[in-house]
A = this chain, B = another copy of it.
Amino acid sequence: MRMLINVPETVVADGLRGMAAAHPELVVDAENRLVVRRDAPVAGKVGLVSGGGSGHEPLHAGFVGPGMLSAACPGEVFTSPVPDQMVRAAAAVDSGAGVLFIVKNYTGDVLNFDMAAELAEDEGVQVAKVLVDDDVAVADSTFTAGRRGTGATLFVEKLAGALADEGAPLERVESMARRVNESSRSFGVALSSVTTPAKGTPTFDLPPGELELGIGIHGEPGRERRPMMTSGEIADVAVHAVLEDLRPTGPVLVLVNGMGATPLLELYGFNAEVQRVLAERGVAVARTLVGSYVTSLDMAGCSVTLCQVDEEMVRLWDAPVQTPALRWGR
């Protein structure tokens, strides 16, 4: 086990304590497992709450701040947070304008956010929900009925977050979040397995010299194993898989995402190949983000997410954002 941890049981709590120390601009409640904008609730603003299992950092807590999420609920590693966290988060960020739950499509998350929405509504908070299910690799998966939610989560949180910060009502923020998800598709590739602290050994076996196409962010099986491919060949497979499903008719946002252990130098090189394939296919690129944003602990590999955008969506992408992991403008 090559982990920088104390004991598996305290990994999430330790991470939150360390996040609190590094980010005094956020309210990090390690006991209740909540990360909240310090200025929440913001008068008249819709609150955005997301969350999910830990191990995908900076998603979601690293996306809390002006211009993006109002609060995040981190669960145990690769395990949904519980409804109590979500209800607390909703109460903390609701200004009376309502709250949007952004939920990645995994069975536990869906059930718990559903229950939390009912509980929060009982307490008088108006709640809308949007499900993120962008991964085209497989129709159903280990923890998911339907498509898995992966990289598009970043686009949903950024664009809906920017719209909420402009003071848009819940209905419009919800509709934008849904539109971003419907306009987004992803495909991931594993070059190594992933090791959770609790298990301490790789969750699946991927021999050196092989890769797995269509992997999920918890090591869920993909489409197929192949002998090692070049960066260019991987970009061909990943981008084609996304385009076949998305069939964009306009420009796209591009996320070239690292799974955790793949060096930034390699991600930039992979981005060159992704851009080549998009150019070959005549797809215009509006904006590109390269980095490890939706990760799977120590997994080596990458994913590509494309989101077709119009002018309003580009404007929302460019809008100022001040979070630990995404930060620009103003």
A residues touching B (Cβ–Cβ < 8 Å)? 1-7, 10-12, 14-19, 21-22, 54-55, 57-58, 62, 77, 191-192, 208-209, 211, 228, 230-232, 234, 256, 260-273, 275, 285, 288-290, 292, 295, 297-298, 300-302, 322, 327-328, 330
Contact of A272 among B17, B54, B192, B230 (CB under 8 A): B17
> When the two chains form their complex, are residues A265 and B297 in contact, meaning their CB atoms are under 8 A apart?
yes
Question: Which of B262, B269, B328 lies in contact with A14, CB distance below 8 A?
Answer: B269
In the complex the two chains form, what is the Cα distance from A263 to B208 in whole Å?
21
CB of A327 within 8 A of CB of B330, answer no
A234–B285 alpha-carbon span in the complex (Å)? 44
CB pair B297 A22 closer than 8 Å: no
List residues of chain B with CB within 8 A of the CB of A256: 18, 22
The complex places the Cα of A203 from the Cα of B199 at a distance, in Å, of: 28
- Whole-angstrom CA separation of A77 from B226 in the bound complex: 27
- Nearest CB of B to A16, in Å: 7
Given contacts A231-B14, A275-B21, contact A191 B268 (CB under 8 A): no
Question: A12: which B residues are within 8 A, CB to CB?
Answer: 265
Q: List the 9 shortest-distance A-B pairs measured between CB atoms, nearest first.
A: A14-B269, A18-B271, A18-B268, A18-B272, A261-B261, A17-B272, A57-B264, A4-B266, A2-B191
